[in-house]
Amino acid sequence: MSEYMQTYQVKRVLTHNEGLKSFRFDRVIEAAPGQFVLVWLPGADEKPFALSGVFDHEIEITVKAVGPFTKQFMNVKAGDWVGLRGPFGNGFQPIEGMVLVGGGIGNAPLRYLAQCLREEKLLFRWVIGVKTAEDLAFRDELASMPEVTIVSEDSSIGKKGRAVDVLAAMNDHEPIIVLAASGPEPMLLAVHGFANTFSPDIPVQLSFERYMKCAVGICGQCCLDGTGLRVCVEGPVLSGHQLQGVTEWGRPHRGPSGRRPTQKQAVHHD
C-alpha cells in the first residue's frame, strides 16, 4: 500500500455488534501500531482509521458507527471494493513495561500494539475502558489475555469505572515504564495528567484524532494550535514532549471548513 489510491475487496467482516465491526483485507503492509489508513467508500467519503491488526496476509480495521460514514460502513460486506491508502503518520513504539490505556474504539490501535508487544516478547499491561460491554470488540480474544484489565462505566463488564482510574493502583503494584493511550481526548489528557504527577514524569505516547483531509501533511486541516504540528504526519501518536506548547487540548476540533466551532456548536460522540 502507499499514499496512492488502490482498491481492494473486503475479505471478511467480523461483527462485534451491530455498530462495531472489523474488516479484513488481503494486503501485506509494513505499518507501526498506531499508524492509520484512509478508507474510501466509493460514492460516500474517505476517512481515517487506525489499523487494529496486521496479520500474515491480511490487515484489519475496526470501525465504530458514530455518524453517516461509519454507519454506512456497517453495510460493507465481504467482496465489496473499498479504497485503501497508507499507512500514514507515526505510531507507538513498543517498549518493555508499557501500559496501554484505551477508551472505547480507541482500543482498536492498541490491539495491534499489543500484538506487536507480544511478538517482540515485551511485557506489558493493557487497561481497556468502555462505556458498556457492548462497546467491546474482540471479547473472546481479550478474555484469554492475562495482561488485560477491563473496566466499564456501567459495570456491565469488568469493574465499574474509567480506564484512568486504575492506573495508580497498577503503578503501585508494579511501576509503569511508559503509558500508551488512545481514546477520547479527555481521557488522553487525564492519562497525561496522571503521568505528570510523577517525578520524573512517566513518558507518554498518546494517539490523537483531528479532522483529516489529506493525511500527507499538506492541507493543514489537522494542525494543532500552538505548535502547528500535523496530527496526520507528526502524529497521530504524540509524546509528552510534542504536547508542550499545544494550546487547543480539549477544545472542539476544527471541522471540514477549517473553522473551530464554539464549545456549544460542537457535537461530541463518544
Partner 1 sequence: MINRLHVDLAGIELASPLVLASGVMGLSASSLERVAELGAGAVTAKSCGLEERKGHPCPAILPFGFGLLNAVGLANPGVDEMVAELRAFRLLSDVPVIASIFGKTVEEFPEVAARIAEARPAMIEVNVSCPNVAGEFGQPFSSDPALVGEITRLVRARVSDIPISIKLSLQCLSLAQIAKACADNGADAITAINSVGPGMIIDPNVRRPVLANRMGGLSGPAILPLAVRAVWEIAAAVSLPIIGTGGVETAEDVVQMVLAGATAVGVGTAVYTRGLEVFSTINSDLHVFMQERGITSLSDLKGAAHV
Ligand X SMILES: Cc1cc2nc3c(=O)[nH]c(=O)nc-3n(C[C@H](O)[C@H](O)[C@H](O)COP(=O)(O)OP(=O)(O)OC[C@H]3O[C@@H](n4cnc5c(N)ncnc54)[C@H](O)[C@@H]3O)c2cc1C
Ligand Y SMILES: Cc1cc2nc3c(=O)[nH]c(=O)nc-3n(C[C@H](O)[C@H](O)[C@H](O)COP(=O)(O)O)c2cc1C
Q: Kindly list the residues in this chain that would bind ligand Y in the complex (CB under 6 A).
A: 218-219
How many Cβ atoms are within 10 Å of 248's Cβ, its own excluded?
A: 16
Q: In the numeric block, which cell numbers belong to residue 213?
A: 483531509
Contact assessment for residue 21 and residue 49, using Cβ atoms and an 8 Å cutoff: no
Footprint on residues 213-232 left by ligand FES (CB under 6 A): 213-215, 217-222, 230, 232
Residue whose CB is less far from ligand FES, 16 or 251: 251
Contact assessment for residue 196 and residue 244, using Cβ atoms and an 8 Å cutoff: no
Footprint on residues 92-121 left by ligand X (CB under 6 A): 105, 108
- Going by C-beta distance under 8 Å and a sequence separation of 6 or more, which residues neighbour residue 20? 62, 63, 64, 65, 105, 134, 135, 137
Query: Total binding residues for partner 1 by CB under 8 A?
Result: 38
Residue whose CB is less far from ligand FES, 190 or 231: 231
Residue whose CB is less far from ligand Y, 95 or 216: 216
Cα 62 to Cα 84, 117, 190, 201, 206, distances in angstroms: 14, 19, 24, 32, 19
Please select the residue that binds ligand X; options are 63, 100, 151, 180, rule is CB under 6 A. 63
Give the residues across from 54 on adjacent strands.
Answer: 59
Q: Report the distance separating Cα 105 and Cα 170, nearest Å.
A: 22
Contact assessment for residue 231 and residue 210, using Cβ atoms and an 8 Å cutoff: yes
Residue 232, binding choice from partner 1, ligand FES, ligand Y, none, Cβ under 5 to 8 Å by partner class? ligand FES
Residue 5, binding choice from ligand X, ligand FES, partner 1, none, Cβ under 5 to 8 Å by partner class? partner 1
Footprint on residues 229-258 left by ligand FES (CB under 6 A): 230, 232
Residue whose CB is less far from ligand Y, 47 or 192: 47
Residue whose CB is less far from ligand Y, 47 or 64: 47
Q: Report the distance separating Cα 240 and Cα 56, nearest Å.
A: 33
Would you call 228 exposed, middle or buried from its count of C-beta atoms within 10 A (0-12, 13-18, 19+)? exposed
209 is an interface residue for ligand X by CB under 6 A = yes
Residue whose CB is less far from ligand FES, 24 or 254: 254
Please select the residue that binds ligand X; options are 67, 175, 220, 258, rule is CB under 6 A. 67
45 is an interface residue for partner 1 by CB under 8 A = yes
Parallel/antiparallel/unpaired status of strands 58-64 and 45-54: antiparallel
Residue whose CB is less far from ligand X, 11 or 165: 11
Q: How far is the CB of 171 from ligand X (least distance, A)?
A: 27
Q: In the numeric block, which cell numbers belong to residue 71?
A: 454507519
Instruction: Give contact residues for ligand FES (rule: CB under 6 A).
Output: 212-215, 217-222, 230, 232
Residues near partner 1 (CB under 8 A): 3-5, 7, 38, 40, 42-47, 81, 83, 213-214, 216-221, 223-230, 247, 254-260
